[in-house]
Homo-oligomer: A and B are copies of this chain.
Amino acid sequence: MQLIVQKFGGTSVADASRMKAAARRAVDAHSAGNRVIVVVSARGKMTDELLELAYEINDNPSTRELDSLLSTGEQMSSALMTMAIHSLGSPSVSFVGRQIGITTDSFHTKARIVNMKVDRILEELSKNKIVVVAGYQGVDENDNITTLGRGGSDTSAVALAALLKADMCDIYTDVDGIFTADPRIVPKARKLDKISYDEILELASMGAQVIHVRSVELAKKYNVPIRVRSSFNNGIGTLICREVMEMEDIVVSGATVTKNDAKITIIGVSDKPGQAAKIFHELAKENINIDMIIQNISAHGLADVTFTVQKDDLSLALETTERIKKEIQAKEIVADGKIAKLSVVGIGMRTHSGIAEKMFKALSDEKINIQMISTSEIKISCVIEEDQAEKALNAVHDAFELDKE
């Protein structure tokens, strides 16, 4: 007898008929002799509608009240899903986060789980019931309702799977699995059957929105196998798991391109120790995250410092650098919001060489100029011109033959 956690996202429970289809999957797994826990998100656009209403009432709503408001979406789904399972003739019971002792810290709208009491779940599972859990929520130590932030239901599902040592955590969503690249941009993109935690973490942090970074981190920590699969067909999806030997034969698993960044160049900084530190200290004080940094030393003893920030932070980053321009004796500050970041990811990079050259050549063949480069153990990223993003992604996808098994 296996223990399976099934998580259904908003599109998978959007209306009565989808709710029933999801319930059918839970009942099928249960009838096949498994113990089943179902974790649900809020229906379709529910969360967005509630947020809209909240902001209509108060343009800076209390995060504590937002959490109480938003957690109702998952609560509704959990009750409705349980009714749907009942209508298929199987025993089931729903719980909100608090009822199964999901305690979190008190950072409203982005709380982290600190504890969970699984007695009640185990009790109901032992009665052969399908246990349905409202995802995304918990309570803090003072019994205030908290939510886990975007992707929070994934986190709820993985945390339950980890604690109960589930055999599988199925994440049902509206795509067939994880692809070698975004199929809307790369028509030849291929669904992966398997990918490692590390690779998906790099891909997810770069905007592949299928599964949330936090839940993958958690899954990696506790070695929970995750299967990302579609609610709308019977495909096997993509298994996210610990890396295995065979994976290393595949050099590059996927490629992404994002347009969330902007670039700032500070020209002619005097080349004295501590100037760069000064810049990034001031930016850190404003809570601005820096991604890539390059510094060139010119012949005249002056340096150009280039770095990327989230587009949302661009104006604040510009203000901040303009403020210290004199202090660091910089000549000029130039901003560029029209950039894209192209990345290839693969754990095979650890043992294979020549990946960077192959990527640069693919771009060069397409006459795409590389503005910045950054690398990690399993990733290479290049900053390029924004309007070349799609062409570049396809070129790299072709160069690494990602469409082929």
A79 at interface (Cβ–Cβ under 8 A)?
Answer: yes
Q: Contact at B75–A58, with CB atoms within 8 Å?
A: no
In the complex, A347 has a CB within 8 A of chain B: no
Which of B62, B66, B87 meets A57, CB within 8 Å? Answer: B87
Partner of A79, one of B59, B65, B76, B84: B65
Judged by a CB distance under 8 angstroms, whether A93 is at the interface is yes
Q: What residues on B are CB-neighbors of A56 within 8 Å?
A: 16
Interface string of A47-84 (1 = CB under 8 A from B): 00010011011110110111011011001101110111
- Are the CB atoms of B80 and A62 closer together than 8 Å? no
- Count the copies: 2
CB A333 to nearest CB in B, in angstroms, measures 38
Contact A19 to B83, CB < 8 A, known contacts A76-B72, A99-B143? no
Cβ contact within 8 Å between A78 and B86:
no
Check A20 for interface membership: any CB of B closer than 8 A: yes
The interface residues of chain B lying within 8 Å CB-to-CB of A59 are: 87
Secondary structure class of chain A's binding surface, majority of residues? helix
Q: Number of A interface residues at 8 Å Cβ cutoff, please give it.
A: 37
Question: A96 at interface (Cβ–Cβ under 8 A)?
Answer: yes
Tell me which residues across on chain B come within 8 A of A69, comparing CB atoms: 75-76, 79-80, 83
Would you call A94 an interface residue if the criterion is a C-beta within 8 Å of the partner chain's C-beta atoms? yes
Which residue of B is nearest A16, CB measured? B56
B65 engages A83 (CB within 8 Å): yes
- CB closest residue in chain B, given A100: B143
Let me know if B68 and A78 touch, CB within 8 A: yes
Asked if A68 and B94 sit within 8 Å, CB to CB, the answer is: yes
Contact of B54 with A83 in the complex, beta carbons under 8 Å? yes
Inside 8 A of A99's CB, which chain B residues have their CB? 143-144
A76: B residues at CB distance < 8 A: 50, 69, 72
| Contacts A80-B53, A99-B143; A87 near B58 (Cβ below 8 A) | yes
Whether B58 lies near A86 (C-beta < 8 A) is yes
Q: Provided the pairs A58-B83, A83-B57, A83-B65 are in contact, do residues A75 and B78 lie with their beta carbons within 8 angstroms?
A: no
Contact assessment for A75 and B79 in the assembled complex, using a CB-CB cutoff below 8 Å: no
Chain A stretch 316-359: residues in CB contact (< 8 A) with chain B:
none
Contacts of A62 in B (CB 8 A): 82-83, 86
- Which of B16, B68, B71, B143 is close to A53, meaning CB atoms less than 8 Å apart? B16
Query: Within the assembled complex, what's the spacing in Å between the Cα atoms of A93 and B68?
Result: 11
Nearest Cβ in chain B — how far from A27, in angstroms?
A: 13
Q: Which of A54, A69, A75 has the most CB of B within 10 A?
A: A69
Fill in one digit per residue for A8-21: 1 if any B CB lies within 8 Å of its CB, else 0: 00000000100110
| Complex: A143 Cα to B117 Cα, angstroms | 14
Among A54, A59, A72, A87, max chain B CB count under 10 A is at A72
In the complex, are the beta carbons of A57 and B19 less than 8 A apart?
yes
Give, as a whole number of angstroms, the nearest-CB distance from A53 to chain B. 6
**What residues of chain A have their CB less than 8 Å away from a CB belonging to chain B?**
16, 19-20, 50, 53-54, 56-59, 61-62, 64-66, 68-69, 71-72, 75-76, 78-80, 82-84, 86-87, 93-94, 96, 98-99, 143-145
Top 8 A-B pairs, shortest CB-CB distance: A69-B79, A72-B72, A58-B83, A58-B87, A16-B56, A68-B79, A65-B79, A61-B83
Given A68-B94, A69-B80, 6 further pairs, Cβ under 8 A: A19-B57, A57-B83, A58-B86, A65-B83, A66-B79, A96-B145
- Name 26 A/B residue pairs within 8 A (Cβ), A-sorted: A16-B53, A16-B56, A16-B57, A19-B57, A54-B79, A54-B80, A57-B83, A57-B87, A58-B83, A58-B86, A61-B83, A62-B82, A62-B86, A64-B93, A65-B79, A65-B86, A68-B75, A68-B78, A68-B79, A68-B94, A69-B83, A71-B75, A72-B72, A72-B76, A96-B145, A98-B98
